[in-house]
Amino acid sequence: MSVILGIDIGGSGIKGAPVDTDTGKLVAERWRIPTPEGAQPDAVKDVVAELVRHFGHEGPVGVTFPGIVQHGKTLSAANVDRGWIGLDADALFTQATGRDVHLINDADAAGLAEARFGAGAGVPGVVLVLTFGTGIGSALIHNGVLVPNTELGHLWLRGDREAEAWASARAREQEDLSWKDWAKRASKYLQHLELLFSPDLFIIGGGISKKADKWQPHIETGRTPLVPAALQNEAGIVGAAMNAARPTQAG
C-alpha cells in the first residue's frame, strides 16, 4: 500500500486526507480548515503545513490549486490572491512543510481520480471531466493520461461571453435559473466541446454532481454519454495524492 497525503485547496475550505494510491481510498477521515480570507500565499501555506502536522505525514504530499500549474509554478489566480501569479508554489509548500510537495490544478486532480477510480474507470479513449462550481474546471484524459491545464471553462460562446460566466453553477445561482434552464445552457456548452474534442465520455463534477437527478434528464449532448462524477468531494484529494505518487513511483 502506497499512502500519500492529498490536500485540496478550495475557495472556502482546504481539506486533506491520506490516500491509498493503489485503491483511491482515504485511509483516515478528511480534515478541513477554512481557507484564509483573501487566500494569500503565506496564509495558505500555513494551513497546508497545519494539515501535514495534523496527519503526522512523513512522505510526499500532493496539493491542488484553483488555477494554472506549470512545472510547480502557479500562473493564474482567478479566485485567489494575485500574489500566486508566477509563484514557485511547489517550493513554497515544500519549505513550509519539510515534505516533497507536488502541485496540480484542482480540476486536473479531479479528472485523474475519476478516470482511474471513479466514473471514468476502464473507459478507453477521450474522457472529458468538467467541474461546475464558481467557474468551470476541465480535465482532458486520453487512455488514462492527463493533458494538463486545458482551462476549457474560458472558451467563448455566443461570440461575446465566456462559458463559465454563462453556464457555471454560480451563474445559475446568481441568475436564479431553474435546473432545466441551466441545463439548456450547459447543453450548448457541452455540444460545443463535443464538436471540438469528440469525447467518448463526459463526467460532470463539482457541487452539482450531488444533484444529478435535477439536471441530468434535461441535458442534451448529442452522441456523447454523460455521467455524474462518482468521487464527489474526495476527487481532488485523491487526484492530488495520485499526482504526487507518479514521480515517486517513477523514481
| pTM (global) more than 0.85 | yes
Residue 73 has pLDDT above 50, yes or no: yes
Residue predicted with more confidence, 81 or 89: 89
Q: How far apart are CA 188 and CA 218, in angstroms?
A: 12
From the list 104, 76, 143, the residue with the least C-alpha distance to 4 is 104
- φ, ψ of residue 242 in degrees (nearest 5): -60, -45
| Distance separating alpha carbons of residues 243 and 61, to the nearest angstrom | 9
Closest by CA to 111, choosing from 88, 142, 135, is 142
Residue 55: name the closest of 76, 30, 77, 38 by CA: 30
> What are residue 87's phi and psi, to 5 degrees?
-85, 140
Q: Which CATH superfamily is domain 119-230 in?
A: ATPase, nucleotide binding domain (3.30.420.40)
Phi, psi of 179 (to 5 degrees): -60, -35
Average pLDDT, the chain: 93
Question: Is the confidence at residue 249, as pLDDT, over 50?
Answer: no
Give strand pairing partners of 182: none
The three cell numbers of residue 187 are 447543453
pLDDT of residue 117: 97
- From the number of C-beta atoms within 10 Å of its C-beta (0-12, 13-18, 19+), residue 234 rates as buried
Predicted pLDDT of residue 246: 75
Among 188, 131, 134, 196, residue whose Cα is nearest residue 158: 188
Strands (E), 53-125: 61-65, 69-70, 73-74, 87-88, 101-105
* 17-50 pLDDT tens trace: 999 999 999 999 999 999 999 999 999 999 999 9
Nearest-10 crossing angle of helices 235-250, 106-117: 80
Q: Map grid coordinates 451563474 to a residue.
A: 171
The percent of residues above 70 in pLDDT, for the chain, comes to 97
Domain boundaries, the chain: 3-104, 119-230
Q: How is domain 3-104 classified at the CATH fold level?
A: Nucleotidyltransferase; domain 5 (3.30.420)
Q: Annotate 72-105 with b (16+ C-beta within 10 A) or e (fewer).
A: bbbbbbeebbeebeebebbebbbebbebbbbbbb
d(CA 21, CA 13): 23
> pLDDT tens digits, residue range 105-141?
999 999 999 999 999 999 999 999 999 988 899 999 9
Q: Do domains 3-104 and 119-230 have the same CATH topology?
A: yes
Q: Sort residue 41 into left (φ over 0), alpha (ψ -120 to 50) or beta.
A: alpha
Q: Is pLDDT above 90 for 51?
A: yes
